[in-house]
A and B are shown apart, each in its own frame.
Chain A
């Protein structure tokens, strides 16, 4: 069963330079109980995708389904009701917390907004429970954000996102701002929480190795579109799309014997007025004339979905 499904989802922004096509026709799904990893470089639209799915941004086109229901055009009131079932954790834990609110204040808001507790005591009990699950103690309730370490702040953010046991969580680079040793703790915590609360994750990151360790399925994005989508292990073992191949080859491995083999030349074009045809064609060593003319659709091939003219 799909928790989340999008159909040709588009999100455009207008800027002085023109229309920024941040998400340019993405059809993707997140299955119940899975972690879908999303990787890509800057300008690929992965963060915008996550926010648009949650209706934090109003889609420009396409459709979004949550638990089978079409939420594309739901109004503000309905969106707020949905926040009980789907939520987000951002990259920078320090910026995500209100400096004037204590941990307690942060955690009781979701409970109060959705009216899930009857008494003050119940509220406190629930908050202590979620704090413990996240590896924090009851005493932490009275702390202000600046009195917590980076890792602790992120635990509070995750606690807040999960205290209502949502069905779906977008994790937007949740460990990128943290030290490596803290990162591994948070990742373990996320894994445990996922099993405990039965949540599905959309895990967005630019760290390929990290995504590998946590994802069931993987989506690779380039300039607002999905170029490859399928089982994570399979894609890591055998990337098929030329961009995916080149991207993986550019990742440095923490092993002195493994050096980066080849480099992608050039850089990602601007999402303002993307090139006609396949967005990756200008940098692709295998491109042909059709690649510059037509934009390839995401089609099924080799047990996964690939957007490339060579796979037909």
Chain B
């Protein structure tokens, strides 16, 4: 896995991924043929509401799906190799934690309470960089410093429950840097953090991404955070991709009716309640999802075609694709 990908080329390419979950109540059709491309060196935002499938996508990439998951179709290319065809062992050794790292929403449960944080980062260093104990400790302190932790020596010796949420998240990034991962997947990393801590975290993440030329898949439901650090954004709805666009394009000129509705529901874009627009109806259950475009029951522009045919992603302009039959007719 030492292939080098050049900046701007795809490092992760998810193609037509279809995923079901078998449950007591029926088959949950979690992903309906999704297409996402993350290019090297970009921060790619993945946004959507409950049940859209954004978390599941990341778990599928890392081979962390639960027992009752069934991949019906599709490919996940990492640096050209299909992860879905790779042996579980190889994924564990070479991909997970090494090439691709992940940080989750709740920093508390990602760190082992029985070991100091320094020790945990050292684990990664010893695995992926060097065996020498002194050398690895120095590297760890370096990484802890790089994530702008105020007192790396102190943090090294502390146990996770002595660290705040924001600090724990930064330790996670340090671990990721220590692994020399090239692709980082972050699943709602700041949802549990205070505003000011979130701001610090985003800044650190941004700077590191630039310095190390990392590729980042940033999963969130928070439009404001997306506009803060993402270059490209993919909007998901009920297991389908609605729209993918450059972040400026997305906010200035959204084409998908769901994206439009979503943007007008965000406080900050509208400053008074009267200005909020609402999308009628609710997110569908995925056991018997709507046919065709899954947004059709709630869409004011929907017609017969929308129920019968799932819209494919069409190009609106460079760096802007939308999956909607009637995007041209929408104001």
- A residues neighboring B (CB under 8 Å): 41-42, 149-151, 179-185, 187-188, 191, 206-210, 212-214, 246-247, 250-260, 263-268
Binds A, one of B33-41, B55-63, B99-107, B198-206: B198-206
B265 contacts chain A at the CB level, 8 A cutoff: yes
Of B1-9, B128-136, B179-187, B268-276, the one contacting chain A is: B268-276
B267 touches A213 (CB 8 A): yes
Q: Which of B76-84, B108-116, B218-226 contacts A (4 or more CB under 8 A)?
A: B218-226
The contact of A213 among B199, B203, B251, B272, by CB within 8 Å, is: B272
B248 at interface, CB cutoff 8 A: yes
CA distance A214 to B274 in the complex (A): 10
Given A253-B268, A254-B269, residue A180 in contact with residue B199 (CB < 8 A): no
Q: Does B278 contact A (CB under 8 A)?
A: yes
In the bound complex, residues from chain A placing their C-beta under 8 Å from that of B50 are 150, 179
- One digit per residue, 1 when the CB lies within 8 angstroms of any chain A CB and 0 when it does not, for chain B 248-260 equals 1001000000000
Residue of B nearest to A212 (CB): B271
The CA of A179 and the CA of B258, in the complex, are separated in Å by 13
Further contacts, 11 of them, CB under 8 A, given A181-B261, A267-B166: A149-B282, A179-B221, A180-B221, A181-B278, A184-B277, A207-B267, A209-B266, A212-B271, A246-B196, A260-B199, A263-B203
Residue from the list B49, B225, B269, B276 in contact with A252, Cβ < 8 A: B225
Which of chain A's residues have a CB closer than 8 A to the CB of B313? Answer: none
Is the CB of B208 closer than 8 A to any CB of chain A?
no
A180 to B266, Cβ gap below 8 A?
yes
Is A187 a contact of B276 with CB atoms below 8 Å? Answer: yes
State whether B196 touches A264 (Cβ < 8 A): yes
Q: Contact at B268–A209, with CB atoms within 8 Å?
A: yes
Contacts A254-B263, A255-B269; A179 near B49 (Cβ below 8 A): yes
CB distance from A227 to the nearest CB of B (A): 14
Asked if B164 contacts A182 (CB within 8 A), the reply is no
> With A and B bound together, what is the CA distance between A188 and B228 in angstroms?
27
B279 located at the interface, meaning its Cβ lies under 8 Å from any Cβ of chain A in the complex: yes
**Smallest CB-CB A-B distances: 3 pairs:** A209-B268, A250-B199, A41-B194
Q: Give chain A residues whose Cβ lies under 8 Å from the Cβ of B261.
A: 181
Q: How far is the CA of A258 from the CA of B194 in the complex (A)?
A: 20
Q: Does B195 contact A (CB under 8 A)?
A: yes
Chain A residues within an 8 Å CB radius of B199: 250-252, 260, 263-264
Q: Closest CB of chain B to A138's CB: distance in Å?
A: 19
Please indicate which of the listed interface residues B195, B226, B227 has the most CB atoms of chain A within 10 Å of its own CB.
B195
Q: Is the CB of B265 within 8 A of A256?
A: no
| In the complex, chain B residues whose CB is within 8 Å of the CB of A266 | 150
Q: State the Cβ distance, B236 to closest chain A Cβ, in Å.
A: 13
Whether A268 and B278, one on each chain, are in contact in the complex, defined by CB atoms closer than 8 angstroms, is no
A210 to chain B, nearest CB (A): 4
A139 to chain B minimum Cβ distance, whole angstroms, is 16
Q: Which residues of A contact B262 (CB under 8 A)?
A: 180-181
B161 CB, nearest partner CB in chain A, Å: 12
Contact B282 A182 (CB under 8 A): yes
Contacts of A251 in B (CB 8 A): 195, 199, 224
Q: Shortest CB–CB separation between residue B134 and chain A, in angstroms?
A: 31
Q: Which residues of the partner chain A approach B167 to less than 8 Å between Cβ atoms?
A: 267
- Whether A253 and B194, one on each chain, are in contact in the complex, defined by CB atoms closer than 8 angstroms, is no
Q: Decide yes or no: A209 and B267 within 8 Å by CB, A256-B227, A267-B197 being known contacts.
A: yes
Task: Tell me the complex Cα distance, A16–B134, Å.
Answer: 38
A214 touches B273 (CB 8 A): yes
B283 within 8 A of A: yes
In the complex, B247 has a CB within 8 A of chain A: yes
> Contacts of B271 on A, CB cut-off 8 Å?
212-213
Q: B194 to chain A: which residues have CB within 8 Å?
A: 41-42, 206, 268
Most buried by B among A180, A181, A251: A181
Query: Does the CB pair B273–A188 fall under 8 Å?
Result: yes
Sample (27) of A-B pairs whose CB atoms are under 8 Å apart? A41-B194, A149-B282, A150-B50, A179-B283, A180-B49, A181-B49, A181-B278, A184-B267, A184-B278, A188-B273, A188-B278, A191-B273, A206-B195, A209-B224, A213-B272, A247-B195, A251-B224, A252-B202, A252-B222, A252-B228, A253-B268, A254-B269, A259-B228, A263-B199, A264-B196, A264-B199, A268-B194
Cα A253 to Cα B270 in complex, Å, equals 11
Q: How distant is the Cα of A213 from the Cα of B224 in the complex, in angstroms? A: 15
- Decide if A151 touches B195 in the complex (CB within 8 Å): no
Most A CB contacts (10 A, CB to CB) among B194, B197, B248 go to: B194
Could you mark each residue 210-233 of chain B with 1 if its beta carbon is under 8 Å from any beta carbon of chain A, else 0?
A: 000000000001111111100000
Within the assembled complex, what's the spacing in Å between the Cα atoms of A252 and B197?
A: 12
Please tell me if the beta carbons of B225 and A213 are within 8 angstroms of each other in the complex. no
A252 contacts B200, C-beta separation under 8 Å: no
Instruction: Decide: B203 and A256 in contact? CB cutoff 8 A.
Output: no
**Distance (Å) between the CB of A234 and the closest chain B CB?**
14
| Chain A contacts for B224, CB-based, 8 A | 209, 251-254
Known contacts: A254-B263, A256-B227, A260-B202. The answer to whether A185 contacts B278 by CB under 8 A is: yes
A213 touches B195 (CB 8 A): no
